[in-house]
Chains A and B, each alone.
Chain A
Amino acid sequence: MRIALEVWRQRSPEEPGRFVRYETTEASPDMSLLELLDVINEGLVSEGEEPIAFDSDCREGICGTCGFMVNGLAHGPLQGAATCQVYLRSFRDGETLFLEPFRAHAFPLIKDLVINRSALDRIITAGGYVSVNTGNAPEANTSTIPKDLAEQAMDAAACIACGACIAACPNASAALFTGAKITHLGKLPEGQPERGRRALRMVRAAAAEGFGHCTFAGECETACPKSIPLQVITQMNHDYLAARLRGEGRATARHIEPGTPKKRR
């Protein structure tokens, strides 16, 4: 089959980028889109030209390394699939595909379709964990978790941190990503002690990275290759507000300077 690609080429963040057209007749329906890029790159290299830079690793939709916009859709046209899971049988013979990087203020471009998503790691660093040292754990079956809750936690935990939700969002909000981790841990008994603190810290970290606020446009849920439900954002807002109302995160040891005289009211 014939497929034409219009690919965003940008050598570095400092230089301007542009779309470059590549046409190929080597495509076949059982070839994945990334394999088509591999084939095009082999051709470019053998002519001494720089290949198209794009990220990918597992190529089975679980590592979250790959991801770019295909015809304006994050990860391309299929619901519940990452870019590496898109096969050419999803396109028409003779179709032109526009490939461009995920764009967001907090995702600086590195080269061509490669971006820096370390902001997502920093959101997790702010509190996306259960504080338990190796060796602290009690016998596993002492905690009882209703199947339903475990399944809901798993639905949220399936996030692969690809960044599609952010690329698809008109506000470049990281609410789905942040909400997914808050929901995953917040549903489980092990996550309860830090639930409020976690929500406060992660939400603040996302804002500090330059991600926008959520206005419930809902684009993220559609773009998500793991179909993480919008409810995780509701849960995030709930946990965040509840923590604010409870005054969490303000507790510091009361320190009274020795020699301070009593204050009479």
Chain B
Amino acid sequence: MHLDGKIPGGPLPQKWERRKFEYALVSPANRRKYRVLVVGTGLAGASCAATLGELGYRVECVIFHDSPRRAHSIAAQGGINAAKNYQNDGDSVQRLFQDTIKGGDYRAREGNVYRLAEVSLRIIDQCVAQGVPFAREYGGKLANRSFGGAQVSRTFYARGQTGQQLLLGAYQALLRQVQAGTVRISPRTEMLDLVVANGKARGIVARDLVTGELRTFVADAVVLATGGYGNAYFLSTYARNSNATAIWRAHRRGAYFANPCFTQIHPTCIPVSGEHQSKLTLMSESLRNDGRIWVPLRAGDERSPEQIPEAERDYYLERRYPSYGNLSPRDVASRAAKAVCDEGRGVGPSGLGVYLDFSDAIRRLGANVIAERYGNLFDMYAEITGEDPYRTPMRIYPAIHYTMGGLWVDYDLMSTIDGLFVTGEANFSDHGANRLGASALMQGLADGYFIAPLAVGSYLARAKPPAVDATHPAFEAARKDTAARIERLLSARGKRTAASFHRELGKLLWDECGMSRNREGLERALARIPEMRERFYREILIPGHGESLNRELETAGRVADYFELAELICRDALHREESCGGHFREEHQTPDGEALRDDEHFAYVAAWEWREGEPPALHKEPLVFEAAPPMQRSYK
């Protein structure tokens, strides 16, 4: 199949305008005749569902959380980018576009990224109008701060809770539509399969997590806004319940999976403390505005940080990347941390950690200013580690945080299945091989408020999907499949929990397909995963039954899908014989250890097609760079 990104013609700045004009419209009176299903109510889902509701479509939201406000967008801390140039520091749509393309190591589509930068302006307007309490200057105007990978201050923030406040804005807009009668929400209901009837996405099968009942939802178009798949690695900064089942099931029904090996490892997380640990906690990138990262100059230095004199510290980011320093992009900063730890200069009990030190900033600005900027993050750190970051440097280490890969979508955010739209982190589109800080919130809201609602409307106007109901054979078949999958899990009579397998798989992925990858390790992983999966189905045990709240069953279903996904991640990482962004292949690096891209052979999107019983097929969408010609990505 030829992959057509359907990028509009014409110069970059006019592409989106042109596409909006090309879109077919549904008249206001006819919109209520269409039903749109939105799965997930994070930033990308809630904003999309609310906007579709405002336009007059009948919207059905399906979420596994107990409330739409729980989605993990809520945990985003640092901020949201927008090219407002309020600081008069030379920012522009063009510059945000350039930064994002370069930050993504030239593996994103120019057309999409330019649109994202353009739409960023309107997101801030919309959020302020909703009452999002962004940080303000004394004059009452919006405040900004800096983030990694940029030399301008374009990040808007609400203390360290920007994701929360943006999500609450979208959530409130969504509930306003519930009140208006355009949106209906089914909480504690988890999507377990996509239904494709006559070649078009027409609904889903979902399990009511409280009663265990399998429910079918029929719609004229389906929007997946179900987030990323980083939890395949077990230990990550994702929420415990974030999972890949929705996108994986859609993939198995025909949606191509793009660039699965592009996973983001965030440099500033609290290090792992023990075997029982359930998740990792992020310390916002914004901390790198004022914190300085260092390790002892000498390997095996076990003195406490206060005892190490200035001359015996290595501020390695400032040394290696003088122009961006501590604000180097995430992939670069993570690899640099790994490198110093590999040299034996890591700190903390495990040796897997580096210092993030605020003593200079506290001396310069005073503890009060630092508390005002980062107070809640400092408190969070103190709660978890029992150490006071005002007195002693934080210890941080990289962790899985985001996935740039996801379901392949065209410029209109439609997957390779007609009528299946994918928004936010669940799609692959805008961040290339590495996402810049404060850009996930921007993309989620751009997709949800401003892009998907128009694209979905145009699809409905043109496709005019014929009426179907839940008695259609495709629904029948999907329901049966899902029931059989649940039955298979429940009938296993082993002794182990699904979580223990998840931990085992996650460790394998982290070791062989984490911060750096090589052929040997990836082949090892590809050999071990199928064996592990077989043991999983033999050895798990799920107490209780399927007709009630059963967390073990929920987990087992998700872990079963992670096994298949993990294989695809490794396969993609193995095939991509280059280093770019978050994908670092040890075989491909410059003499000083920087990533070595291969534009000649790999300037494409790798989109994988699921095939039952045989290896997935690779399809390539070539990437063309006209406005931002690829260059060696340097932050030196």
Q: Bound pair: A and B? A: yes
Residues of A at the B interface (CB closer than 8 Å) are 11-12, 26, 28-32, 34-35, 38-39, 41-42, 44-46, 48-51, 53, 55-65, 78, 80-81, 85, 87, 89, 110-111, 114, 116-118, 120-121, 124-141, 143-147, 150, 153-154, 157-158, 160-161, 184-185, 188, 190-191
Segment of B247-255, B322-330, B475-483, B542-550 in the binding face: B542-550
Q: Considering the chains assembled together, what is the distance between the CA atoms of A176 and B320 in angstroms?
A: 50
CB distance from A70 to the nearest CB of B (A): 15
Which of chain A's residues has its CB closest to B540's CB? A45
Which of chain A's residues has its CB closest to B277's CB? A35
Are A53 and B549 within 8 A (Cβ)? yes
Segment of B9-17, B131-139, B356-364 in the binding face: B131-139
* Residue numbers in A under 8 Å from B31 (CB-CB): none
Given A57-B240, A125-B179, A117:B66 Cβ within 8 A: yes
Q: List 27 A-B contacts (CB under 8 A).
A: A29-B386, A30-B273, A46-B497, A50-B544, A58-B239, A59-B239, A59-B281, A62-B74, A62-B75, A62-B161, A63-B71, A121-B69, A125-B176, A135-B122, A137-B122, A140-B125, A143-B128, A145-B136, A147-B136, A147-B140, A150-B134, A157-B158, A161-B67, A185-B131, A190-B128, A190-B130, A190-B131
CB of B380 closer than 8 Å to a CB of A = yes
From A129, A133, A145, A158, B172 is in contact (CB under 8 Å) with A129
Are B276 and A147 within 8 A (Cβ)? no
Are A138 and B133 within 8 A (Cβ)? no
Which of chain A's residues has its CB closest to B82's CB? A140
Which of chain A's residues has its CB closest to B168's CB? A157
* Residue numbers in B under 8 Å from A50 (CB-CB): 543-544
CB distance from A51 to the nearest CB of B (A): 6
Q: Considering the chains assembled together, what is the distance between the CA atoms of A89 and B274 in angstroms?
A: 15
Are B178 and A145 within 8 A (Cβ)? no
Are B240 and A59 within 8 A (Cβ)? yes
* Residue numbers in A under 8 Å from B277 (CB-CB): 35
Are B159 and A121 within 8 A (Cβ)? no
Given A38-B276, A46-B496, A53-B551, A140:B84 Cβ within 8 A: yes
**Which one of B50, B74, B277 has the greatest number of beta carbons of chain A within 10 Å?**
B74
* Residue numbers in B under 8 Å from A44 (CB-CB): 543
Q: Considering the chains assembled together, what is the distance between the CA atoms of A82 and B450 in angstroms?
A: 35
* Residue numbers in A under 8 Å from B541 (CB-CB): 45-46, 48
Are A146 and B136 within 8 A (Cβ)? yes
From B274, B450, B549, A114 is in contact (CB under 8 Å) with B549
CB distance from B241 to the nearest CB of A (A): 5
Are B138 and A147 within 8 A (Cβ)? yes
CB distance from A257 to the nearest CB of B (A): 29
CB contacts under 8 Å to A, within B276-325, are 276-279, 281-282
CB distance from B363 to the nearest CB of A (A): 25
CB distance from A111 to the nearest CB of B (A): 5
Given A46-B495, A85-B383, A126:B179 Cβ within 8 A: yes
Are A38 and B278 within 8 A (Cβ)? yes
Q: Considering the chains assembled together, what is the distance between the CA atoms of A137 and B239 in angstroms?
A: 32
From A38, A140, A154, B124 is in contact (CB under 8 Å) with A140
From B171, B173, B281, B543, A51 is in contact (CB under 8 Å) with B543
Q: Considering the chains assembled together, what is the distance between the CA atoms of A60 and B138 in angstroms?
A: 31
* Residue numbers in B under 8 Å from A132 (CB-CB): 126, 129-130, 173
Q: Considering the chains assembled together, what is the distance between the CA atoms of A144 and B164 in angstroms?
A: 22
Which of chain A's residues has its CB closest to B282's CB? A60
Q: Considering the chains assembled together, what is the distance between the CA atoms of A161 and B282 in angstroms?
A: 22
